Amino acid sequence: MEQSNNQDIKIKLTIAKQQGKLVEVHNIKGDDYFNVGFVVSIDNYFCLMISIDWDGKINGLIAIRIESINEVNDQTDYLTTVSEKTKVAHENNYFDIWQVQRFLDEHPEITNGNILMNVLRDAARNALPVVIGTKKYQGIDDFSGMIHNLNEITLNLHYFNEKDLSSMWSYDIPISQIDYVRSRGTQTATTRQILKDIFHQD
């Protein structure tokens, strides 16, 4: 049954990508929070989306583990509202303040092959902060920080706790336990600012 559901989710994601549809992706069970955006790539395990926030502007990239997704919607009143807001964002030139579309145009290789490793390597290579959600915490908590070591099995993340800024922390995360990764957006920028101002890391 679970395998069948995963296949249905993949089909919906593929159609959304082909048709350029704005979709809701629900990947945290029993939670009102979900991701909204445009699917740009799918592999066997992850989908890559351009994330859209409540104001209708691009909020970076997010790679989501397909088996963690329990629902994909493409026709809701919420999506209609966000779609209208994207028109305003376009008209007033704040739709893509993080230049995500330009990045994808200039680096199409990130959408080919292993999506998760592509996003992680991009962040590690360019010293970009990431936000990582894991299977262990199921959306209850995620981790904002910098990748210090990365291989095919695990990564070491130096992260901070926004409720306790007394020090940085280190976390070894198995690649197989990662449910989602955010990069190149608002959370990346705010994480970088905190690292610079509070922890004096450029």
pLDDT of residue 33: 78
Which regions of the chain are under pLDDT 50?
1
Find tokens 């583990």 and name the residue.
65
Contact 53, 176 (CB under 8 A): no
Q: How many CB atoms lie within 10 A of CB 89?
A: 20
pLDDT at 101: 97
Element counts in the chain: helices (H) and strands (E): 5, 10
3-state secondary structure (DSSP) of residue 12: helix
Tens-digit pLDDT profile for residues 142-157? 899 999 999 999 999 9
Nearest by Cα to 14 from 66, 79, 68: 66
Q: Where are the domains of the chain?
A: 2-197
Answer whether 95's CB lies under 8 Å from 89's CB. yes
pLDDT for residue 1: 39
